[in-house]
């Protein structure tokens, strides 16, 4: 999915609530609602295919609530605006990484040169150890 389209889709489908934060801010924490809770319902996300939505549900199963929402909290910063932007960027990262299908790793075998190098290193190590052994002739 196109990152710009995902960005706009999340912004359109998001529900933002603010509350008092327990993070940094001193006395400011007791006066301002700087904590941001971002909720995105999966059925409101535009631009996702059915396969991508199904993949989201399986990969993010532990993050999805009973209401079919992904919830992100952000209270690291002292500013509400900064926490909102952090929450949106984390949501974008989580969704884009969950939708992306990992590339299949084709298993390979070590080549002849690699095998020979490994055996040579084993021989050298063995000779070094053999040189340290106690002999009865000494």
CATH of residue 40: 3.30.160.20
Domain assignment present for residue 24? The answer is yes
Domain assignment present for residue 111? The answer is no
Residue 89: the pLDDT is: 94
Which domain covers residue 35, as residue numbers? 3-99
Domain assignment present for residue 138? The answer is no
Structure token digits, residue 136: 């009865």
DSSP 8-state symbol, 106: P
Residue 138: helix, strand or coil by DSSP? coil
> How many domains, in total, are found in the chain?
1
Specify whether the CB–CB gap between 10 and 95 falls below 8 A: yes
Domain assignment present for residue 104? The answer is no
Domain assignment present for residue 130? The answer is no
Residue 138: the pLDDT is: 55
Distance CA(28)–CA(131), nearest Å, equals 71
Place of tokens 């992904």: 70
Domain assignment present for residue 131? The answer is no
Q: Determine the average pLDDT of the residues in 61-84.
A: 91
Residue 25: the pLDDT is: 66
Q: Determine the average pLDDT of the residues in 72-100.
A: 91
Number of residues in the chain: 138
Strand order in the sheet with 35-41: 14-19, 35-41, 69-74
Place of tokens 């992306």: 100
Percent of the chain with pLDDT over 70: 95
Domain assignment present for residue 21? The answer is yes
User: Model confidence over 107-136: pLDDT tens digits?
Assistant: 999 999 999 999 999 999 999 999 898 877
pTM for the predicted model, two decimal places: 0.71
Distance CA(65)–CA(88), nearest Å, equals 18
pLDDT at residue 77 above 90?
A: no
Residue 1: the pLDDT is: 64
User: Model confidence over 18-71: pLDDT tens digits?
Assistant: 998 776 667 776 788 888 999 999 988 888 889 989 999 999 999 999 999 999
Distance CA(124)–CA(96), nearest Å, equals 49
Specify whether the CB–CB gap between 47 and 5 falls below 8 A: yes
Residue 33: the pLDDT is: 87
pLDDT at residue 102 above 90?
A: no
């Amino acid at each position: 999915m196109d990152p710009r389209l995902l960005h706009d889709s999340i912004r359109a489908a998001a529900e933002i609530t603010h509350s008092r934060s327990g993070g940094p801010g001193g006395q400011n924490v007791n006066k301002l609602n700087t904590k941001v809770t971002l909720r995105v319902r999966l059925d409101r996300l535009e631009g996702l295919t059915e396969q991508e939505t199904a993949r989201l549900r399986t990969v993010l199963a532990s993050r999805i609530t009973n209401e079919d929402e992904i919830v992100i909290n952000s209270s690291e910063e002292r500013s509400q605006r900064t926490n909102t932007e952090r929450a949106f960027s984390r949501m974008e990262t989580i969704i884009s990484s969950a939708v992306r299908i990992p590339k299949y790793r084709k298993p390979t075998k070590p080549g002849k040169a690699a095998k020979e190098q490994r055996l040579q290193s084993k021989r050298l190590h063995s000779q070094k150890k053999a040189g340290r052994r106690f002999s009865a002739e000494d």
